[in-house]
């Protein structure tokens, strides 16, 4: 093989490596679906969205059934308004509920949908009214410290 052929093969190898890195980066960022919309949009309002981000998964029974499309703040109610795209082959009852959950102890956050029992299904543009906000670890730790400090103060007062 001459020098030019080796250089061509090395260049091809480098291009394949770069294409592989781009593919892995897109996989890690959940940006691999470039196709047209294949679901229906619904919204939900949360008092606290925690670390939820656009493109976060929507799961039901552990199965990913959609993605968060956008997050905005309602200027009147000061709630987070989350727009979601749910796969069209999955239909949820109108009285379903949505929770912001965490994958593992310190993992990414996602929306979990629990189906309701209504005969009517959520339609495109519908709203999930029963929601549960994200559990913020800092708030839980603060509540624990405050309650333990209150107990310690009560014990000290009782001993005197």
| Confidence (pLDDT) at 157 | 61
> Is residue 116 exposed (0-12), middle (13-18) or buried (19+ Cβ within 10 Å)?
middle
User: Structure pTM?
Assistant: 0.68
Q: pLDDT for 78-123, tens place per residue? A: 999 999 999 989 999 999 999 998 887 677 889 999 998 888 888 8
Residue ranges in the chain whose pLDDT is less than 50: none
How large is the C-alpha radius of gyration of the chain? 24
């Amino acid at each position: 093989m001459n020098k030019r052929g080796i250089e061509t093969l090395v260049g091809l190898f480098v291009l394949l490596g770069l294409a592989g890195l781009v593919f892995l980066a897109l996989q890690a960022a959940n940006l691999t679906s470039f196709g047209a919309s294949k679901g229906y949009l619904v919204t939900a309002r949360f008092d606290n969205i925690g670390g939820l981000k656009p493109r976060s998964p929507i799961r039901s029974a552990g199965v990913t059934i959609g993605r968060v499309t956008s997050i905005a703040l309602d200027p009147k109610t000061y709630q987070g308004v989350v727009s979601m795209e749910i796969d069209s082959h999955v239909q949820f009852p109108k009285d379903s509920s949505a929770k912001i959950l965490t994958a593992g102890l310190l993992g990414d956050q996602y929306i979990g949908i629990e189906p309701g029992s209504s005969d009517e299904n959520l339609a495109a543009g519908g709203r999930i009214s029963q929601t549960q906000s994200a559990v913020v670890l800092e708030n839980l730790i603060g509540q624990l410290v405050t309650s333990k400090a209150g107990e310690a103060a009560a014990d000290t007062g009782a001993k005197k």
